[in-house]
Amino acid sequence: MADTPEVPQQAIDYSQRIPNNVDLSNDRTLQRALERWQPAFLNWWHETGPSNTSDLQVYLRTAISVDRDGWANFGYVRMPEYRWGIFLAPQDANRKIHFGDHKGQPVWQDVPGEYRSPLRRIIVTQGDTEPASVEQQKLLGATCPSLYDLRNLFQVNVEEGRHLWAMVYLLHRYFGRDGREEAEGLLQRRSGDANNPRILTAFNERTGHWLAFYMFAFFTDRDGKFQLAALAESAFDPLARTTKFMLTEEAHHMFIGESGVARILQRTCEVMNQLKLTDPSQIRAQGVIDLETMQRFVNFHYSVTLDLFGSDVSSNAANYYTGALKGRYGEANIGDDHSLAGNFYSVQEVANGDIVTRQVPALTALNARLRDDYVREIQAGVDRWNKIPERFGMPFRITLPHLGFHRKIGSFADQYVTPQGQVLSREDWERQSADWLPSDDDHAFVGSLMSRVIEPGRFANWIAPPARGVNNLPIEFEYVRFD
């Protein structure tokens, strides 16, 4: 759009200790504060980041500018030398608030006093998930199914580290002493720690093997996408610009998850087809993951990720919207008045042992709405997965369990709902839950398949090779070097 005046854009300056496109060298106080935080970040990375990676050279993608072509920069990087930095999407000088009570006013370049505490809370909660996922995935490198996959894991890890930088920049730059303290807290909490855990439950689950990793990247990184997309609508412009750029990185994480699960399904179907097997134990005996187990992992990762959207009905969500702190998914493309006053939205809950639909004020149902948008995208991904057994002429299809299944947060917390949406007593539910959720045995079986495959072009038996390599390179390219 030629008539949108843009503020002159900064290229990413890699000559600085902290690469950035926010003109850090002209804000000495902030620069010094962040330079003090940087060694603490690196300590955190060494302690809880991917283990035994100091000597590796990894074929990674690094952003060199924030426009679309800025991602085309690939090359070998020694992991601890990755250039984490602060990159915001370009500023639009004419940007106006486009929803909520302040609609039509210019966006904010600073934090209004009245929104200081909710904005800080939003940023800290988002920021906490970034290092958490790196911690969860710390040990996966030891059992990589191929060099291609190992490289993809590390790409995700360094970018989650950069997402932490993105949130820490906002805390340091806009929230004074409180922000600096929160930035330290982000390096002190630990995923799964009994005393000082990460804020959200799904980020305290362990990612003990590669099936869990791919499921996490498909389901949970996509929650990240929807949260970031809602924050990219924010009236607080630096938050909107930061999250907008993070979204470009998130797309790749979801690709790794979706294609990873697809390659497992592909391999299992190949073996079932070749050997004419349908019995899960016989399929497992061939060293591949049976489809029933895949379904149980889908049930688990889907349900714990739904909890990340928060309560279905929430006055916080309403306040975030009317204050224009957090919008709806694709807010600008929705054809309504963007105030939602007087509108209603359907949510589900349990009443007298049945699941019923209730109309609630749309403003209070924004968490449910964002989750429903997410579910639509998840369903489309599942439909793509299901093309695989279909191609093999197999009747099996992955299905998403009912919204109420295995929930800890929201209207279905403390309810015992089957994947089909039937409300049971606790006892009845627990008696059958081993059919629905991965058991310790399932984890042990999947874990038993994990072994390290690092010959270029080779893949573990339980997963098919990808359709193509990274950056148009061959699949057998040496994506990680060990010297």
Binding site for Fe ion (CB under 5 A): 130, 160, 163, 221, 250, 253
CB of 61 vs Fe ion, minimal distance in Å: 14
CB of 158 to Fe ion, least distance (A): 11
Closest approach of Fe ion to the CB of residue 163, in Å: 4
Element containing residue 28 per DSSP (H, E)? helix 28-48
CA-angle at 430, arms to 428 and 434, nearest 5°: 120
What does the buried/exposed string (b/e) look like for 303-326 if buried means 16 or more CB atoms within 10 Å of the residue's CB? Answer: bbbbbbbbbbbbebbbbbbbbbbb
Closest approach, Cβ 66 to Fe ion, in A, equals 16
What residues contact residue 473 under an 8 Å CB cut-off, 6+ apart? 59, 479
Main-chain phi, psi angles of 92, to 5 degrees: -110, 110
Between 100 and 224, CB nearer to Fe ion: 224
**Least distance from C-beta 162 to Fe ion, angstroms?**
8
Tokens at 232, concatenated? 């990219």
Task: Compute the least distance from the CB of residue 404 to Fe ion, in Å.
Answer: 27
Question: Angle 237-275/291-306 helices, nearest 10 degrees?
Answer: 160
243, containing H or E segment: helix 237-275
Nearer to Fe ion, 167 or 211 (CB): 167
CB nearer to Fe ion: give 173 or 222: 222
Output 159 or 312, the one with its CB closest to Fe ion: 159
Compute the least distance from the CB of residue 185 to Fe ion, in Å: 18
Cβ nearer to Fe ion, comparing 221 with 312: 221
Nearer to Fe ion, 242 or 266 (CB): 242
User: Helix-strand-coil percent breakdown of the chain, rounded to 5?
Assistant: 55, 10, 40
Distance of closest approach, residue 250 Cβ to Fe ion, in angstroms: 5
| Whole-number Å distance between alpha carbons of 481 and 268 | 30
Phi/psi of residue 37, nearest 5 degrees: -75, -30
At residue 386, the 3 state secondary structure works out as helix
Distance CA 154, CA 176 (A): 33
Residue 160 or 442: which CB sits closer to Fe ion? 160
Token pair for residue 53? 């990676």
253 or 296: whose CB is closer to Fe ion?
253
> What is the closest distance, in whole angstroms, from the C-beta atom of residue 69 to Fe ion in the complex?
21
Which residue(s) pair with 434 in the sheet?
none
CA–CA distance from 1 to each of 93, 103, 235 (Å)?
13, 22, 21
Residue with tokens 């940023």: 123
Which residue number, 199 or 437, has a Cβ lying nearer to Fe ion?
199
